[in-house]
Structure 1
Amino acid sequence: MATSTSKVWDKQLVGSAPVMTINASPRDEKWPARLKEEYTSLIQYISKNKENGNDWFKIESDKEGKKWIGKCWHTQNYTKYEFSFEFSIPSAYPNSAPEILIPELEGKTAKMYKGGKICLTDHFYPLWARNTPKYGISHLLIFGLSPWIAVEIPDLLEKGLISK
């Protein structure tokens, strides 16, 4: 059975998150406009996922849009595995991508740093750097969190490091 996150790589879904046009960090006066773009992109991406039966996460932010929390899930062998994730928008955003944390998986995989930060250095961060400031939170989820989950969760399940 295919995992729910593997569908994300469908070209239609990847293209469903609009790119950002405003280059602003939480320290800038243009941040509210950038944040509006971020929400619009997320809403469009989530809507497209639901239309295609690929609902794989929920996310919300604090009032200022600086701290984000959510739940993501992976389905394998008809079993749903759900994990909490979080990230904060760095002060150098969008030039610096956020670091995603999945605290409950800390220490279970080599592709994770202290504090439960998932490893995105080899594949995602170079992609982000080439596409800054166009990429935003939707892209962090599409190109960062989703592939990490699609690779790491089945491996952790096979090794018996996580269970239902």
Structure 2
Amino acid sequence: MVDDGTRKALSGIPLLKTKAGPRDKELWVQRLKEEYQALIKYVQNNKTADMDWFRLESNKEGTKWFGKCWYMHNLHKYEFDVEFDIPITYPTTSPEIALPELDGKTAKMYRGGKICLTDHFKPLWARNVPKFGIAHAMALGVSTDKHPAHNKNSTLTKGNVF
């Protein structure tokens, strides 16, 4: 189930049209253009709402993504590396987003710092292929209100993160 804040964030992200993955040469280029347009719009929306919380870039082929995400808590800025690969079967299969520095520090993580997205995210993603893309995955899985560090079982402190 998606909360109202997430629903609002998702509604501001353009839906994608091209169903193509890394193996679909020319169509993949078109899909990447749509991905970048959606990411740019999402970042603009976040900045307008004073909720800027991530930066992403990719390799030349658009198959490996990396960057930073951050949030403020108790006047401390927590900044983490974020990374993921685009699966060969993308967009049918969603990317597995990882925050490697949080590996083992919160209950909402798999080995390697991959964020647990199975229960709510995967069915929603499946219903929205090919409309959802990287910006949608970030909004649903890593946005500051969904951040694994906000989990009550998190062991994050200012000292053990940096």
TM-score (norm 2): 0.88
Select the structure with the greater relative contact order (CA < 8 A; seq sep ≥ 6): 1
Give the distance between the partners of 1:10 and 1:52, measured in 2 at CA.
15
TM-score (norm 1): 0.87
Change (3 A) 1:122 1:66: same
SS across alignment from 1:85: strand
Residue number in structure 2 paired with 1:71: 68
- Counterpart AA for 1:162: T
Report the CA distance between 1:95 and its aligned residue: 0.2
Report the CA distance between 1:126 and its aligned residue: 1.0
Report the CA distance between 1:110 and its aligned residue: 2.4
Q: How big is each residue's C-alpha offset from its partner over 1:58-98, in whole Å with a ceiling of 9 and x where there is no partner?
A: 11111111000011112112221111110000000000000
Runs of 4+ in 1 over 6 A off after TM superposition: none
Which of 145, 148, 162 in structure 1 is aligned with 2:146? 148
Change (3 A) 1:125 1:159: closer
Q: Does 1:86 align with 2:68?
A: no
Residue number in structure 2 paired with 1:163: 158
Instruction: Give unpaired runs (5+ residues) of structure 1.
Output: 1-5
Give the distance between the partners of 2:4 and 2:45, measured in 1 at CA.
12
Instruction: Give unpaired runs (5+ residues) of structure 2.
Output: none
Identity of counterpart residues, as a percentage?
52
Which of 137, 143, 152 in structure 1 is aligned with 2:134? 137
